[in-house]
Structure 1
Amino acid sequence: MRDLHGRQLVLDENSFLKKVGQKNDALNNQASKRYHSLWNDQGKLKDNDEAVDTRRQQAQSMTNSFYDLVTDFYEYGWGQSFHFAKLYKGDTFEQNINRHEAFLALKLGLNNNMRVLDVGCGVGGPLREIVKSSGGAHVTGINNNAYQIERCLAYSKRYGLSARTDFIKGDFTNMPIEAQTFDAVFSVEATVHAPRLEMVYGEIFRVLKPGGRFACYEWCTTEAYDENDMTQKKIIHAIEQGNSISKLYSTKQCLAALLSVGFKIIEEGDVAVEDRGTLGPFDGAATVPWYYTLSKPDPGLRGLLRSPWGRRYTDTLLTILHKFRMVPSGVLETSQLLNAAADNLVLGGEMGIFTPMFFFLVEKPLE
């Protein structure tokens, strides 16, 4: 892992060029080619049942390569929480993100006597917010990417939260955790990386204590999605390709997967749906669409970087640096991959065929 990402662990989120610049050229290029090979064949998209099965079989290595490529980009544009949120007017993006995370602690009824699991914890941004908003619950994060786990440990130490956090490097479809270990489980836009949702939901069911609850924001297609519409299908496939998703489930398939492993559904619904005003699409509404953070510049440097203008700037800068071999191989290709993903996330949101925050709260029965 250090061989790929360089000798120095850089925690400053704004030191993007320093982080990507110290990556090993050959190893980063290898990770980039490994990832893209699962999606493209001589310039043609692999989008059939056989290709989906291949990606499902290689989901762990595919997603590990993906996060080796994109983690520095995500911190550059998003900070330490790699997810969307319901965007209330008058609040900053960061305030909306923190509220989105704290909502899970509220729904799970967490307190400082509980042991909690974060499935697919990224670099630990949501996990650390849950510790704070719950009044000190102990939260363990599981993640299969060594670079992200290293960053989790360093951030917890920096913020004085080491005593309330633990981290496990492991496959969340085969967790190295004893059954009935945790009082509660949450996941923020991460379980979508599983080859099949039933695989990760089944493991979550196993490690939960009877009566324990699981709260999640899941990426799904909506009821408006028509797989026979080729325009819509291309948008969804581009979202899958740009985010290391073997195959997106619909909201109905997601709920069926939860029921199939034994969960009882307490609450569910798409929280990405904005509050619409009475005077027009958004006049008088409390929120704006979740995808605005990718289509319009939010205040602040990161808000600009996430916008089309900021992403174009980053891509142009990396194109120049790549030309003069001042960034490792694969970095420019990763920027282009994420730009295409962002554009299609906006399209999916505008068409109402995709949601990054299908919320559910489920319970493991006592018997």
Structure 2
Amino acid sequence: MEPAAMLCTAAVAGLGLYWFVWVMGSAEQKGKRAVELKMGSISRDKVQDKYRQYWSFFQRPQEISETADKEKVPAFVDTFYNLVTDIYEWGWGQSFHFSPAIPGRSHRDATRIHEERAADLIGAAPGQRILDAGCGVGGPMRAIAAHSRANVVGITINEYQVSRARAHNRKAGLDGLCEVVCGNFLDMPFEDASFDGAYSIEATCHAPKLEDVYAEIFRVLKPGALYVSYEWVTTALYRPDDPEQVEVIQGIERGDALPGLRRQDEIAAIARRVGFEVVREEDLARAPAGPWWARLKMGRLAYWRNHLVIKALSLLGIAPKGVADVHEMLYSTAGHLSRGGETGIFTPMHMILCRKPAA
């Protein structure tokens, strides 16, 4: 090779290395390096296979709840959270949900305010025992426990999330108020009438039938106790005969382990069928709330930065095969979510406040 060509090649390589180091440095500033990404309890050699199995199962989400396949949903939701938990924490934080944008306030502040609203709606207070049905790694749990000083018990189906939540609780100094249990919220290991209140923040959407999870929450609540849920639903603007809208909704379902989204106008009826009194119902994404999807659109540059890192680490064999596929799926899903918000055909924060009738 000619000396000039060698110098040119070295310069390009140097720039590539500089770019890689800069990207890695940016990722470190977010608090979690890409090289630390795990895939939950999935071994390195099984990640790609598990991702393919997951993707194949959720290709036709609306059909799942109507077939025998609905029995497989909890296992695939568990797989989903093994695949995405570390990526979510790396790119989003410890609260796996959306919140309305608030002018002049950070995303972190908006998230905390959205979580504290749930605590206020159910009147969470010191000494009470409150259920977090579908707690993830416990971001909302910690915010609600710190805000209300209630004892919060979270349940998640994913064992890896249990370990992450417990570690975060200890680090935050809230392990005295926060307890985390591994289990299925469709069949919880809690006694009847053992909670003073309960909440779900964008979690019950994973249930094949909403009636089943609402009935289980009803069972564990004390008479007179309140339950609030922020539900993922299609709105009255959604047209199931519009192919473009169908693709948006199915894209959300496929990329978020959802066995079919419910309609906004059927949530209250489902709650009443299991015995709840519906106290209040409101779409918290409606104006004057700021657009919840703005954060997704603002994060596109960060996504590409992170994706370059993940692809490089996968090629080098540092990250397991399949991680880049999972990250790509999440990016595509973010596009569908943004489109669902912009068109108004989808909301992730249909709030329903219910009461278990007093004995």
Which amino acid in the other structure matches residue 26 of structure 1? D
Q: Say which one has the larger Rg.
A: 2
> What are the residue-to-residue correspondences of 1:136-215 with 2, within 5 Å?
136-215=149-228
Q: Which residue of 1 aligns with 2:131?
A: 117
Higher normalized helix content (fraction of residues): 2
| Structure 1 position 20 matched with structure 2 position 22 | no
The number of equivalent residue pairs is 329
Task: Give CA deviations for 1:311-361 in whole Å, capped at 9, x if unaligned.
Answer: 122223322332332310220110011001100000001110000100111
More divergent stretch after superposition (78-87 vs 157-166): 157-166
**Superposition TM-score, scaled by structure 2 size:** 0.87
Of 258, 275, 278, 1:245 maps to 258
Of 341, 351, 357, 1:349 maps to 341
Q: Which residue of 1 aligns with 2:293?
A: 291
Of 27, 32, 52, 1:33 maps to 52
Distance in 2 between the 1:238 and 1:56 partners? 19
**Superposition TM-score, scaled by structure 1 size:** 0.86
Which amino acid in the other structure matches residue 337 of structure 1? M
Of 66, 70, 83, 1:69 maps to 83
Structure 2 alignment gaps of length 5 or more = 1-29
Task: Give CA deviations for 1:140-196 in whole Å, capped at 9, x if unaligned.
Answer: 001110000011111111222122121111110011111100000011101111111
Of 217, 221, 231, 1:218 maps to 231
Of 306, 326, 331, 1:339 maps to 331
Distance in 2 between the 1:192 and 1:213 partners? 19
Cα RMSD of the aligned pairs, angstroms, is 1.8
Q: Which residue of 1 aligns with 2:307?
A: 315
Q: Check the 8 A contact 1:55/1:246 in 2, yes or no.
A: no
Distance in 2 between the 1:333 and 1:60 partners? 22
Specify whether residues 313 and 363 from structure 1 end up closer, same or farther in structure 2 by C-alpha distance, changes over 3 A only: same
> What are the residue-to-residue correspondences of 1:36-51 with 2, within 5 Å?
36-39=55-58, 45-46=59-60, 49=63
Distance in 1 between the 2:169 and 2:128 partners? 18
Q: How far off its partner does 1:51 sit?
A: 8.3
Q: Check the 8 A contact 1:222/1:352 in 2, yes or no.
A: yes
Distance in 2 between the 1:54 and 1:295 partners? 37
Specify whether residues 152 and 345 from structure 1 end up closer, same or farther in structure 2 by C-alpha distance, changes over 3 A only: same
Structure 1 alignment gaps of length 5 or more = 1-11, 40-44, 276-286, 297-306
Q: Which residue of 1 aligns with 2:116?
A: 102
Distance in 1 between the 2:263 and 2:191 partners? 31
Q: SS of the counterpart of 2:37?
A: helix
